[in-house]
Amino acid sequence: MAATSARTLRLLSLLQIHRFWPGPELAGRLEVSERTLRRDIERLRELGYPVRSTRGTDGGYQLENGAAMPPLLVDADETVAIVLALRNATSGAAAGLSEASLRALAKVMQVLPRPLRRRAEALEQMTQARAWDPPPELAADVLTTLALACRDQVRVELEHRRGDVDPVRRRVEPLRLVPQGRRWYLVGYDLLRHDWRCYRVDRISAVSPTREAFAPRRLPAADAAEFVAVSTSGSHAGERVVAEVETGEAHARAWIGRWAEVEPLGEQRCRVTMQTDEPHWALHALNSLDADFTVLAPDSFRAEVARRAERMLRAAGVAAGGGATD
């Protein structure tokens, strides 16, 4: 996805430089086949850019009249900030919004002044995002509707599901949206349960604002972010994984502090606690520290680590007892 996105932006930039490009020449500039070029042209059209094509020996591609836009007035630092923010979203920071992020990034590239555009294109083309497991799907209309309801202080009716059960309809006084790790949460007061709750936004399938205004209640936490951190550390949010890691607190916090609690146990030793319903993700986080670790809890996670360790040993041609396999 990242390579395709970068090539799409490069293609748009080339089409803006010249009004007409012969097909073979344009494919050569992009270092792709003409078949791949045709797919990229279709992708640009899907993103809303009118690209005209002509066939034959003199055939080629060009942007139709009206595709150009006036330059965007930003400085170099602002350009970097825009490109990085949209680039991160394009590479999967929020599933369901990657296509919208790509369209936005393409449009920003189109309206940047030429000197800044060259810098932005270099940053986009020479940046490669690390592949992660796909994050939960996030619907833009749900997210923005909730944001408006929070701002306008109006009650909402929403359908929310937990796990694999069917969605349940809730009446909520929404307070704040909180991104934590790779998920978004809505903090609100549940009018049916008469208590504060945090809801995963990717599990909200429908939301309808009402015309009922409300006065915000007092949240039992310093702020919404703290409330989400405390709420998701409870037993209802999945397994609580605890491990002792042979590395310093600062190193652990720098790598996984956004998703884990880190408690120092010594100069080069710390305890890491994560709440997750995805054991493979917790193992990946611990492995990313590049340090020895011991699983303290739960037993199910310890067994999962052992199972995956045996698989890795077999892949390396080493038996579980330490000897090489035949």
Q: How far apart are the first and last CA of the chain?
A: 40
Query: What mean pLDDT is predicted for residues 235-245?
Result: 76
Residue pLDDT, tens place only, 142-193: 988 999 999 999 999 999 987 667 889 999 999 999 988 778 899 999 999 9
Q: Which two tokens stand for residue 274?
A: 């994560």
With 60 as the cut, is the pLDDT of residue 26 above it?
yes
Q: What is the pLDDT of residue 236?
A: 44
Q: What is the pLDDT of residue 324?
A: 53
| Residue of 1 and 241 predicted with greater confidence | 241
Using alpha carbons, select from 50, 42, 124 the residue that is nearest to residue 91. 124
What domains, with CATH codes, occur in the chain? 1-135 (1.10.10), 140-232 (2.30.30), 236-315 (3.30.70.250)
Q: What is the pLDDT of residue 235?
A: 42
Does the predicted model carry a pTM greater than 0.85? no
Bond before 174 cis per omega within 30 degrees: no
Q: What is the pLDDT of residue 72?
A: 62
> Which neighbouring-strand residues pair with 95?
137
DSSP secondary structure string, 57-105?
A: TT-EEEEPTT---PPP---HHHHHHHHHHHHHIIIIISBTSHHHHHHHH
Give the SS3 label for residue 8.
helix
Read off the pLDDT band of 30 (50, 70, 90): confident
- Give strand ranges (E) for the chain: 21-22, 51-54, 60-63, 154-160, 168-180, 183-190, 195-200, 204-213, 239-245, 261-266, 269-276, 293-297
Q: What is the pLDDT of residue 206?
A: 92
Element spanning 226, H or E: helix 224-231
Read off the pLDDT band of 132 (50, 70, 90): low
Q: What is the pLDDT of residue 201?
A: 92
CB atoms within 10 A of CB 240: 17
